[in-house]
Structure 1
C-alpha cells in the first residue's frame, strides 16, 4: 500500500465534505462506499444515526478488534452570520487513517478473528459514541483502538507510543442575576458584572495536581448590552474544564458550581450553574497497552 497516495486520494475529499454532528450524510456515504469496495461488510444508520460499522472477518477463531474514527466537523460563524462547516479538529485525518488501516488489513489479510471499523458521528457534542454504544456496536468487540491527531505535542517526529492520556472535558454554563439600577444610584442595584468578575478570579485561584493536567478556563462572559449608565442585572458565563483523571473532573465540577452560586450570593445576586456537555477521559486497559508495546517493538 502506498500510504502517501492513499492520503492524497482520500483526505482532500473528506476535508471538503465537512458536515456537523449527526448530519454526516455525505461523509458516511463516502466511507461506506470505500469500505464496501474493499470487501468489508458494512452496516449503515447504526442506532438510527449516521453511524456505520464495517467488518472484515478472517473466518478463523479470534478476537474482534475495533478501530474507531469520528466523522463530524466544527461550525464556524462568518462575519455575515452564516455558519460554515470546517474540519478544524482533525476528523478528516482520523477518517483517512481508519480507511488506510482498513485497506492495509485487507491487503495483508487477517491471521485470525475480525476487525471492525467504527465510524462515529457527533464527537463534538459528546453524543455519537453513546448512540453507538446504545445500539450495541461494541457488544462483540474485545479490543478497541482509537487515536487523535496532535502528535507534535505528545510524541516526537517518527516516534510511536502506546498511549496518550487524553483529558476528560466538561463544558459548564452559568447565569448570574443581579438587580438593574441607574448608574447614579448603584446602591439600589446589584451589579451582575461585579459578581461575575469575582467568580472569574475565584476560578483562576483554583489549583489542581499538575500531574493530572487539570485546568479550568472561563471561556464566556457576556452581559451589560444596554446603556452605559445602567447597572447590569444579568451575566452569562461559561467554563471549559479538563483533566486526565475522571475522579478529579468530578471534583472540579463541584468546585465550579459552588464558586458560581456562593460568590454570587456574597454580592447579593443569584446564580445557577449547569453542565452543557461532558466527555470522560479514556482509561486504558493495561493488557492492551502491554500488547501494543510488544507490537511496536516487533
Structure 2
C-alpha cells in the first residue's frame, strides 16, 4: 500500500494545484463541487449533490456500518500580494486532496468494504455554518464513526508527526450596535458619546473573571463611530466582539457575562445597545474510541515516537457540530505535522506537500480498521 500511495503523488499534487488555483469562498464553491463530483464519478463512486447549496457526498460499499471522512472545501477571502481574492490559506485544498487520495487507495485495496464509506465534502467551514447544513440534510444520521483532518502549523507539531485528535476551542463572533442621538461638541451633556461607551465596554470586558483553570477570552475587534465633522459627538456606533473558550460550558458563561455588560451600559448611559451573534463555532467533543483508532493508525504509519498527544488549540472548526448535533457519532480529527508556515490564514501559507501522502495512509488505515471493527461488534 505504501508504494502505491507514493506512486499517487503526481496525481495528488495535480489535484491540489487545481483546487488551490481555483479557490472559492464559502457557499460559492460551485466549480469546486463540480470538479469533485467529476473525479468521484470517474472512480465509479455514488455521488449526491444538493439543489440549494454547494458541497457533495460520495459513497462506496453498501449497508452498515457507515464510516465517514469529512473534508472542508471553502477558501478565505483575503488580500494576497496586494489583491483581494479567494485563497486557500487554511489548507482546505490539501484536505480535499487527502480525502480523494483516501478514495483512490480504498478503491485499489478495499473496493468492497463490509459496509459503507462516505466522503463528505462540506462547504462553508470558514463561516461556521457548513457542518450545520450537512447535519440538517441528514448526511451523518446513519454514520457511526466520522473522521476529519487538518494541517497543523509548525508552531504546534513538527513535520513527519501527527496527533489523533484536535481539541479545538469554541469561538463566537458578535456584532453590536449603540444607538443614540448625536450632540454638539460644545454641549456634551445633551447626548451620550458612543466612543466613551465603547471604551467603557472594553474596560469591562477586561474585567470578566471566570474559573482561572478554564481558557477563555473576550475582546473588541472592531469599532466604528463618528464621521468627518470633528465637532459632532457621535451617539451611535457599531462594533464586533470575538469570544473564545476551550469548553462549550465556559462559552455559555462568558456570553452571559458579556450580555450583562451590555445591559449595564444600556441602563447606565440610557442608550439602545444590542447584540447579534454572527457565527458560533463549538468546542471539540472528541470520542475516545475514535481517537484511539486514529492513534493506532498513526503509530502504524509513523511509529510511536511520532504520534503526539491530542492537540489543544484555541482555533476553531465547525467539524465539532457534527458530534454536538448528533451525539451518537464517534468522531476525531487527525492533525498532520507538515512544516506549515508562517501560519494558518497567512496569505502566503506554505507546507510540505508530501505530508498529504502521510495523511492519506493514516486515514486509510483508520477507516479500514474502523469498518472491520464495527463489523465484528
Q: Secondary structure at the match of 2:158?
A: coil
> Which deviates more, 28-37 or 101-110?
101-110
Q: Are the equivalent residues in 2 in contact too, given 1:168–1:281 (CA < 8 A)?
A: yes
1:65-111 deviation line (CA, Å, top 9, x unaligned): 1110111122237999x963222332212212211222222222155
Give the total of aligned pairs.
294
Deviation string, structure 1 residues 1-49 (Cα, Å, up to 9, x no partner): 235424421112101221122221100011111122223211122x632
Counterpart for residue 101 of structure 1: 102
Residue 48 of structure 1 aligns with which residue? 52
Take 2:282 and 2:152, find their aligned partners in 1: how far apart are those partners? 19
Match of 1:160 in 2: 162
Residue 174 (structure 1) aligned with residue 176 (structure 2): yes
1:11 aligns with 2:16: yes
Q: Distance in 2 between matches of 1:77 and 1:289?
A: 37
Structure-1 separation of matches of 2:297 and 2:13: 27
Pairwise mapping of residues 116-155 of structure 1 onto structure 2 (< 5 A)? 116-155=118-157
2:192 pairs, out of 180, 190, 199, with: 190
Query: Aligned partners of 1:192, 1:285: CA distance in 2, in Å?
Result: 46
Matching residue within 66, 71, 74 for 2:73:
71
Secondary structure class of the residue paired with 1:201: helix
Greater shift after overlay, 222-231 or 191-200? 222-231
Over the aligned positions, Cα root-mean-square deviation in angstroms equals: 2.4
The residue aligned with 1:37 is 42
Q: TM-score, with normalisation over the residues of structure 2?
A: 0.72
Residue 252 (structure 2) aligns with: 250
Larger RCO, structure (CA 8 Å, separation 6 or more): 2
Instruction: Tell me how far apart the structure 1 counterparts of residues 186 and 116 of structure 2 sit (CA, whole Å).
Output: 74
Provide structure 1 residue ranges, at least 5 long, that are not aligned to the other structure. none
Once residues 154 and 7 of structure 1 are traced to their aligned partners in structure 2, the CA distance between those partners, rounded to angstroms, is 25
Q: State whether residues 166 and 284 of structure 2, in contact with CA within 8 Å, keep that contact through their aligned partners in structure 1.
A: no
Structure 2 residue 297 is matched with structure 1 residue 295: yes
1:229 paired residue number: 231
Say if 1:158 and 1:78 are closer, same or farther in 2 by CA, change over 3 A.
Answer: closer
Contact 2:26/2:124 (CA < 8 Å) preserved in 1?
yes
Given that 1:192 and 1:269 are in contact with CA atoms closer than 8 Å, whether structure 2 keeps it comes out as no
Cα distance between partner residues in 1 of 2:172 and 2:255: 8
Cα distance in 2 for partners of 1:203, 1:119 equals 38
Q: Alpha-carbon deviations, 1:107-139, whole Å to 9, x = none?
A: 221553221100111222222222211221112
Q: Summarize the Cα distance change of 1:155–1:213 in structure 2 as closer, same or farther, 3 Å threshold.
A: farther
Q: What runs of 5+ residues in structure 2 fail to find an aligned partner?
A: 301-377
Q: Secondary structure, in 3 states, of the residue corresponding to 1:154?
A: coil
